[in-house]
Amino acid sequence: MSNSRIIHDEFDLDAVTPYKMLRTRVLQKMDKNDWRVLAVTSSHQNAGKTITAINLAMMIARSGGRRVYLLDIDLRKPGIAKSLGIDDISAGVGDYLSGERKIKDVVWGVGEEDLFVLPGKGRFDHSSELLVSETMTDLVSAIRSDSSEPIVIIDLPPVLAADDALAIAPLIDALLFVVAEGETKRADISHSLELLRDVELLGVVLNKSRDAHPGY
């Protein structure tokens, strides 16, 4: 993995434990409510959305028996491919949404049997239009109708940066909101959650915490 914060086999147990707790809480809430599509977002850039989305997807895939789709829907500033060390991919999810590629061309494996990654590649400035397109709706419907009942984790752009998070809101079941300790402002959290008030808030991840145990 190109990013040292992404879980790998030699990852420190103390660092894995909070992600295991997050995974278990997320799965319990999703299963209880019959939710399948979880979006990870924050109010501003750099809070740790991409790291959280990847590590959560990885931990769910590793728990066994659950297929996980990890989608990079931060189409203006995709981060998943770089963090996973697969930025040499030939196409990303934006190429599928804009009709340039077939779905099979944008699903990538990263050595985890049950993890299917749809990373971003390049920059799509008309991203919110792509997110409200029929192709996007069909993509989520196709994954939802997979009989293996997969979990879908979506890495979203920051809520206050663009209308992308709002655009995709009707397709998601619940939200995981990442807050960076010492960085994210209280008023921005309220403003973001107010904008996304129609989406269920599954929980808040306190990232970059000084006590090194992300709260949940």
Ligand X SMILES: Nc1ncnc2c1ncn2[C@@H]1O[C@H](COP(=O)(O)OP(=O)(O)OP(=O)(O)O)[C@@H](O)[C@H]1O
| One residue of 6, 39, 50, 202 binding ligand X per CB under 6 A | 50
Asked if residue 160 lies in contact with residue 44, where contact means CB atoms within 8 angstroms, the answer is yes
Please identify, using beta-carbon distances, which residue of 49 and 121 lies nearer to ligand X: 49
Q: How far is CA 18 from CA 7, 67, 104, 141, 186, in A?
A: 11, 21, 33, 31, 23
Q: How far is the CB of 31 from Mg ion (least distance, A)?
A: 27
| One residue of 45, 63, 98, 133 binding ligand X per CB under 6 A | 45
Sheet (strand 151-155) strand order: 115-118, 68-72, 151-155, 37-41, 174-180, 200-207
Q: Which does 48 bind (CB under 5 to 8 A by kind): ligand X, Mg ion, none?
A: ligand X
Asked if residue 69 lies in contact with residue 143, where contact means CB atoms within 8 angstroms, the answer is yes
| Contact positions vs Mg ion (CB under 5 A) | 49-50, 79
Q: How far is the CB of 99 from ligand X (least distance, A)?
A: 25
25 binds ligand X (CB under 6 A): no
Residues 151-170 that bind ligand X (CB under 6 A): 158
Please identify, using beta-carbon distances, which residue of 76 and 101 lies nearer to ligand X: 76
Maximum separation of any 2 CA atoms in the chain, in Å = 46
R_g of the chain, CA atoms, integer Å: 16
Listed in order, strand segments (DSSP E) in 73-215 are 115-118, 151-155, 174-180, 200-207
Neighbour tally for 58: CB within 10 Å: 27
What is the spatial distance between Cα 154 and Cα 173, in angstroms, rounded to a whole number? 11
Residues with Cβ within 8 Å of residue 122, at least 6 apart in sequence:
78, 92, 94, 95
208 binds ligand X (CB under 6 A): yes
82 binds ligand X (CB under 6 A): no
Q: Which stretch binds ligand X (CB under 6 A): 41-49, 100-108, 124-132, 144-152?
A: 41-49
Please identify, using beta-carbon distances, which residue of 77 and 144 lies nearer to Mg ion: 77
| One residue of 1, 5, 191, 206 binding ligand X per CB under 6 A | 5
Please identify, using beta-carbon distances, which residue of 61 and 205 lies nearer to ligand X: 205
User: What are the residues binding ligand X (CB under 6 A)?
Assistant: 5, 42, 45-51, 74, 77, 79, 158, 207-208
